[in-house]
Amino acid sequence: MRILGVSGSLQRGSSNLALLECARELAPTGVEVAIYDGLRTLPQFNLDLEAQAPLPLVEAWRRELDASDALLLASPEYGFSLPGALKNAIDWVIGSGELERKVVGITASVNHTERGRRGLAALENTLSALSATVVGGVPIVRGAEFENDVRVLLGALIGAAQAARSSGA
């Protein structure tokens, strides 16, 4: 099984990227968590650009999604919503369908339990346009239970992806 991990933060040292790296380390045998770092290079969504010629960076993003059984999004909250770079990446695949009915785990690495919830709600709302199966949706607090909480989310994501695979979804 292949899970594509995507951080909604463009910061190289972000806590959301650290969460994805933790998930990669905790992944059981037979499960690969591949981290995608291409959000920063995607052009702004514009169908006129796509009509002119294939866009290699967009095509690479689509191939990464297509090659994955599930997606794990770890995203900060910006202005009570999701980051623009992550929304842009999702916009590029709404029409092409790579995220359609995909199993997607969502979370945010936070320093307090009340942080990140509005951003995750906005992300879940956006993913509903793609009929994605959303797993998680709760921020993970950095602290003593961090690794365990990442493990629980990863387990739920793997279970949902296996169920989707066996049902032919």
Q: What angle do CA 24, 94, 57 make, to 5 degrees?
A: 60
Q: How far is CA 109 from CA 24, 75, 136, in A?
A: 15, 7, 13
- Please report the pLDDT score of residue 149 as a whole number: 98
Is the pTM for the entire model greater than 0.75?
yes
Tens-digit pLDDT profile for residues 80-129: 999 999 999 999 999 999 999 999 999 999 999 889 999 999 999 999 99
Backbone angles phi, psi at 4, to 5 degrees: -95, 120
Tens-digit pLDDT profile for residues 40-94: 999 999 999 888 877 999 999 999 999 999 999 999 999 999 999 999 999 999 9
% helix, strand, coil for the chain, step of 5: 45, 20, 35
Query: Both tokens of residue 66?
Result: 């297509």
What span, in angstroms and rounded, lies between the C-alpha atoms of 123 and 63? Answer: 22
**What domains are there in the chain, each with its CATH number?**
2-167 (3.40.50.360)
